[in-house]
Amino acid sequence: MTSHYCPHTPQEMREMLDVIGVADIEALFAPIPPELRCKTFNLPSGMSEFETFARMQQLAADNCSQLALFIGGGFYDHLIPAAVDHLAGRSEFYTAYTPYQPECSQGTLQALFEYQTAICRLTGLEVSNASLYDGATALAEGALMAVRATGRSTVLVDGCISPIARQVLATYLSNQEVTIVELPPLDGLLHRDELAARLDHDTAALLVQYPNVFGCVEDFSPVADQVHAVGGLLVTSVYPVALGMLRSPAEVGADIAVGDGQSLGNPLSFGGPSFGFIAARKTYIRNMPGRIVGQTVDKNGRRGFVLTLQAREQHIKRHKATSNICSNQSLCALRGLIFLAALGRGGLVELARLNYDKAAYAKSSLARLPGVTVLQSAPTFNEFTIHLPRPADQVVAGLMAKGIVAGLPLGQFYEGAEQLLVVTVTEKRSRKEIDLLVKELEVLLCN
């Protein structure tokens, strides 16, 4: 047997510090600024379970839980059916780890196979993996997948993609032999002339978002034809709820579709966790990262499920690894599957219609306010951009005091966009809340 050794005497502690080359324990904390260090631990007395739960509820209530949220930008306040929590919380799923041993993981493998099927039906594409980390890293994985598939090194990125996702993309690809070329937006849309000037036979892919960060919905079919004409791929980042109304990525010519699954049955939870999804045409399955679950039969002809086509860093094809961070996302992906199964095709269409109709009502109401202009360059889904007569961040701060998170100010991301605000309306926003937003914004702008 072995045991963990912990020094108990001052001499033993001194010897340990000498080995690692520091003068004292305090030196270990030198990177932390003094003002951020905790001098003492003034802990309260212990509480019972009931008291602790009440205290946690109080803290949660202070965490903006009562605000009317009109902010999105990639993370959305959607309703979650009770079945999602109930089924995903079963111990068979909740405590399961990586299903490397199919003989004892059939339940998990089948659930992930059904998840892949749902993502394929949602995107219209032929193959999916068993989830990614989140939407931003999924975009980066889609870019790398295109680079591997084409053998090229230039990735064109529409400036209308979420700035957060573009930052992750730049970090993810920073040590790769890949050149990222960003195309500046034009009236909240892909700059088509700039695209035509940049497309060449070294272009691995064009990355676009559908709908984009301004809320605009573009028809990328002609763009797909342009990209394919030079041998490149179209990678589309999609908002899955919007696909209840919009044409699928496959229908607009996308070769690879990625996105964030937070809106599919996963709560906002102060930033996560969520999951990313990726789907592609079958031609590119060998370049797809992560785990892929396949369906087969055993020697007795019974249906079974198994991980397949794996080129991960710990497997026999590790020199061709296309792996990613996905281990702990399977439970979140399962929530996405349960959400989609609970709604069904008709339910997803109805959900999308609710989002669209409520956003249309908010858009028309805000457009009537003096000094407020709605960006009209393209159709929208449940997000749209308005131009305000004063800086958007000031407006957001003023409305926050009224219990309203008015939207996402774009000035922090785009030069000259200080007065632009992206407003998001999901099915959870009531007519009363929308009318309150319009009323309080009018009062604020008149003062």
Residue 185 reports pLDDT greater than 50: yes
Range in 15-29, 208-222, 355-369 the model is least confident about: 15-29
* 29 within a domain of the structure (yes/no): no
- Name the 3-class secondary structure at 221: helix
**pLDDT value, residue 2:** 44
* 26 within a domain of the structure (yes/no): no
DSSP 96-145: ------GGG-HHHHHHHHHHHHHHHHHH--SEE-S-BS-HHHHHHHHHHH
Answer with the residue of higher pLDDT: 7 or 153.
Answer: 153
Q: Give yes or no: residues 218 and 309 share one domain.
A: yes
Q: Give yes or no: residues 331 and 363 share one domain.
A: no
Q: Give yes or no: residues 283 and 405 share one domain.
A: no
Say if CB 122 and CB 100 are below 8 A apart. no
* 22 within a domain of the structure (yes/no): no
Structural element, H or E, at residue 395 = helix 392-400
Q: Give yes or no: residues 393 and 411 share one domain.
A: yes
Q: What is the CATH number of the domain that holds 138?
A: 3.40.640.10
Q: Give yes or no: residues 322 and 435 share one domain.
A: no
* 13 within a domain of the structure (yes/no): no
**What's the mean pLDDT in 380-384?**
98
What digits encode the pLDDT tens for the residues 396-407?
A: 999 999 999 999
Which of 303, 320, 340 is at the close of a domain?
Answer: 340
Residues forming a β-bridge with 383? 424
**What's the mean pLDDT in 330-337?**
95
Residue 284 reports pLDDT greater than 60: yes
Q: What is the CATH number of the domain that holds 388?
A: 3.90.1150.10
What digits encode the pLDDT tens for the residues 44-71?
A: 889 999 999 999 888 887 766 688 999 9
- Structural domain of residue 420, as residue ranges? 68-76+351-446
Residue 41 reports pLDDT greater than 90: no
> Which own/partner pairs from 299-302 qualify as long-range (CB within 8 Å, at least 24 positions apart)?
none
What digits encode the pLDDT tens for the residues 405-430?
A: 999 999 999 999 999 999 999 999 99
Our count of domains for the chain comes to: 2
Q: Which of 232, 162, 242, 245 is closest to 195 using CA atoms?
A: 232
**What's the mean pLDDT in 29-54?**
88
Distance (Å, whole) CA 423 – CA 444? 16
* 178 within a domain of the structure (yes/no): yes
What digits encode the pLDDT tens for the residues 130-177?
A: 999 999 999 999 999 999 999 999 999 999 999 999 999 999 999 999
**pLDDT value, residue 447:** 86
Q: Give yes or no: residues 186 and 108 share one domain.
A: yes
Residue 322 reports pLDDT greater than 80: no
**What's the mean pLDDT in 215-244?**
98
